[in-house]
């Protein structure tokens, strides 16, 4: 029993090896968030055409690393911490095979570090997608493979811990909903990361000159099983975090837990198919293939999101109404704990993900409508709404609970922490919106110069300049909001008041 402590706030038994792994993964996640955020600031100051500070060479290099650091490293390191938290800690269990957990961490750190260094050295200006025949240094692909294998090991430790908890009877009844959601995310993660390993192994061999070039279209099909599906891990984990934050902030429980669990199963079965919208303009796939995968099947995953879109606010509303806020339709919303960064992060994340990210995701992924958005700024506008306003903000909100519960420190600068979700969440929603507006008027994505550095010139509507200016200003403010989160987190670890066990 010496390997456990009892949490003075929740009363949960905390397995110390699990706690160490949660801490190291969470800290590493925040380091990658900081790196990606600094690069994001430089990129937004380049896409803001009136400022335009980076030369093309550095724009593409930094955009590649920004994508890897944010879409993959920050999110998946944080998710590893979440997997250990929702298995060992929430189930009062010991973590199965902690040494495999450390192997997970080391592989991901070495892999992520290799990728970052190779990109910064100029060996992989291939963007996040690294579409063949664009060729990067072999160590870039090796780094991605190591990272993916490490993350798979984290999922293995998670499932092994579920078995240990069940066998040793550390909990009764069904898995808690949050752990259930994390399990769904881990299943999706294994499918996703396997795609990553499968597609990058031949790409590595090709890059090293050992095999002939691979088919570009086959690469794209398999790559998106990794590239987009990795964002579906985020969606699933984010929804689980929403339920967790609802419980932690207002004591909510879902109105109908079985329906919520069914929605998670729908995610497992259908959400990865949504990745197919990336190949909607590829000529090699039939219209029937594209239509089935991006409409009929995908809408079953959308149905799951619709269920959560009602279930999460309904759970919050019922909990607040039970506290006595029953007047009218919206007293519960007015009296909600808006000064609690966990709650404000949850609600802003819900709104940003649903109203901006979710709606545009379905619309842009529709076969006929996709041509309006393909390769223009509408696409990054959409995914900054889902991954940044949605997932990142939810993870930030959860971090405000991980700091006292796992690091046993009171959150530093509580006044700043109260406003941080607003400082980050509202600007990033404006940033996404106006990115999409500019994209709607034809501004291309992944372009260092929208006026055509490739020897041609184009004219845009005056709305584009206004949109890009609002996008630029709100992007800079969002970076400040993100920096505030990093400062609060680091300061908590260094100067945060130690919480003494009672």
| Residue from the set 59, 332, 401, 485 that interacts with another protein by CB under 8 A | 332
Question: Is the CB of residue 87 less than 8 Å from the CB of residue 95?
Answer: yes
Measured on CA atoms in the order 275, 36, 30, 193, is the torsion positive or negative?
Answer: positive
Stretch that binds another protein, among 51-59, 329-337, 455-463, 494-502 (CB under 8 A): 329-337
Minimum distance from CB of 433 to another protein (Å)? 12
User: Tokens 């008041």 label which residue?
Assistant: 497
Minimum distance from CB of 375 to another protein (Å)? 15
Give the residue with the Cβ less far from another protein, 211 or 372.
372
Write the CA distances from 109 to 32, 44, 149, 387, integer angstroms.
10, 27, 11, 22
Structure tokens at 22: 């949660």
Q: What is the DSSP string of 408-432?
A: -BPPSSHHHHHHHHHHHHHHHHHHH
Question: Is residue 329 a contact residue for another protein (CB under 8 A)?
Answer: yes
Question: Is residue 255 a contact residue for another protein (CB under 8 A)?
Answer: yes
Q: How far apart are the first and last CA of the chain?
A: 18
Give the residue with the Cβ less far from another protein, 67 or 440.
440
Burial of 310 (0-12, 13-18, 19+ CB in 10 A): exposed
| Residue from the set 58, 355, 413, 422 that interacts with another protein by CB under 8 A | 355
Residues in the chain: 502
Burial of 298 (0-12, 13-18, 19+ CB in 10 A): buried
Question: Is residue 317 a contact residue for another protein (CB under 8 A)?
Answer: yes
Give the residue with the Cβ less far from another protein, 108 or 315.
315
Give the residue with the Cβ less far from another protein, 146 or 316.
316
| Residue from the set 310, 339, 451, 466 that interacts with another protein by CB under 8 A | 310
CA 254 to chain centroid: 23
Question: Is residue 253 a contact residue for another protein (CB under 8 A)?
Answer: yes
Write the CA distances from 331 to 69, 81, 327, 422, integer angstroms.
41, 36, 6, 21
d(CA 414, CA 226): 38
Question: Is residue 487 a contact residue for another protein (CB under 8 A)?
Answer: no
Question: Is residue 300 a contact residue for another protein (CB under 8 A)?
Answer: no
Of residues 383-442, which lie at the interface with another protein (CB under 8 A)?
440
Question: Is residue 321 a contact residue for another protein (CB under 8 A)?
Answer: yes
Minimum distance from CB of 445 to another protein (Å)? 18
Question: Is residue 495 a contact residue for another protein (CB under 8 A)?
Answer: no
Question: Is residue 256 a contact residue for another protein (CB under 8 A)?
Answer: yes
Question: Is residue 369 a contact residue for another protein (CB under 8 A)?
Answer: yes
Q: How many residues lie near another protein (CB under 8 A)?
A: 29
Stretch that binds another protein, among 93-101, 136-144, 150-158, 316-324 (CB under 8 A): 316-324
Stretch that binds another protein, among 1-9, 211-219, 283-291, 325-333 (CB under 8 A): 325-333
Contacts of 327 (CB under 8 A, 6+ apart): none
Stretch that binds another protein, among 150-158, 321-329, 389-397, 400-408 (CB under 8 A): 321-329
Write the CA distances from 448 to 52, 55, 66, 428, 451, integer angstroms.
8, 7, 14, 21, 9
d(CA 263, CA 303): 8
Give the residue with the Cβ less far from another protein, 73 or 315.
315
Question: Is the CB of residue 105 less than 8 Å from the CB of residue 147?
Answer: no
Question: Is residue 314 a contact residue for another protein (CB under 8 A)?
Answer: yes
Give the footprint of another protein on this chain (CB under 8 A): 253, 255-256, 309-310, 313-314, 316-318, 321-322, 326, 329-330, 332-333, 354-355, 359-360, 362-363, 366, 368-369, 371-372, 440
């Amino acid at each position: 029993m010496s390997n456990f402590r009892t949490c003075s706030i929740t009363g949960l038994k905390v397995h110390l090896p699990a706690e160490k792994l949660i801490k190291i993964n969470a800290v590493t996640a925040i380091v990658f968030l900081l790196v990606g955020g600094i690069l994001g600031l430089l990129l937004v100051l380049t896409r803001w055409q009136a400022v335009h500070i980076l030369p093309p060479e550095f724009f593409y290099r930094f955009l590649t690393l920004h994508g890897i650091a944010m879409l993959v490293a920050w999110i998946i390191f944080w998710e590893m911490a979440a997997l250990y938290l929702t298995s060992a800690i929430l189930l009062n269990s010991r973590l199965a095979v902690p040494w495999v957990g450390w192997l997970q961490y080391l592989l991901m750190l070495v892999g992520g570090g290799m990728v970052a260094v190779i990109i910064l050295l100029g060996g992989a200006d291939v963007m996040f997608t690294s579409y063949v025949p664009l060729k990067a240094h072999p160590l870039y692909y090796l780094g991605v493979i190591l990272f993916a294998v490490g993350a798979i090991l984290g999922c293995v430790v998670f499932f092994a811990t579920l078995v240990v908890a069940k066998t040793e009877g550390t909990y009764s009844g069904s898995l808690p909903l949050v752990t259930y959601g994390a399990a769904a995310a881990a299943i999706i993660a294994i499918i996703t990361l396997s795609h990553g390993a499968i597609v990058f192994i031949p790409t590595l061999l090709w890059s090293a000159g050992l095999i002939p070039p691979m088919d570009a279209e086959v690469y794209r099909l398999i790559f998106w099983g990794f590239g987009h599906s990795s964002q579906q891990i985020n969606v699933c984990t984010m929804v689980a975090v929403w339920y967790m934050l609802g419980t932690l902030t207002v004591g909510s429980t879902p109105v109908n837990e079985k329906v919520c669990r069914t929605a998670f199963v729908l995610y497992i079965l259908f959400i990865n198919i949504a990745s197919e919208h990336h190949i909607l303009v590829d000529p090699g796939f039939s219209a029937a293939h594209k239509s089935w995968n991006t409409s009929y099947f995908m809408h079953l995953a959308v149905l799951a999101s619709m269920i959560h879109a009602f279930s999460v606010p309904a759970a919050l509303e019922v909990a607040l109404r039970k506290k006595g806020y029953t007047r009218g339709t919206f007293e519960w919303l007015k009296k909600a704990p808006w000064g609690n960064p966990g709650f404000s992060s949850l609600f802003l994340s819900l709104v940003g993900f649903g109203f901006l990210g979710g709606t545009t995701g379905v619309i842009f992924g529709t076969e006929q409508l996709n041509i309006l958005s393909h390769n223009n700024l509408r696409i990054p506008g959409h995914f900054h709404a889902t991954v940044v306003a949605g997932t990142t903000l939810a993870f930030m909100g959860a971090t405000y609970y991980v700091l006292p519960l796992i690091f046993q420190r009171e959150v530093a600068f509580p006044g700043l922490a109260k406003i941080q979700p607003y400082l980050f969440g509202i600007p990033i929603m404006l940033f996404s919106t106006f990115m999409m507006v500019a994209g709607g008027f034809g501004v291309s994505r992944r372009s260092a110069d929208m006026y055509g550095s490739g020897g041609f010139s184009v004219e845009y509507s005056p709305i584009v300049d206004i949109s890009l200016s609002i996008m630029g200003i709100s992007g800079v403010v969002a970076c400040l909001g993100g920096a505030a989160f990093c400062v609060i987190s680091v300061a908590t670890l260094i100067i945060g008041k130690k919480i003494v066990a009672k």
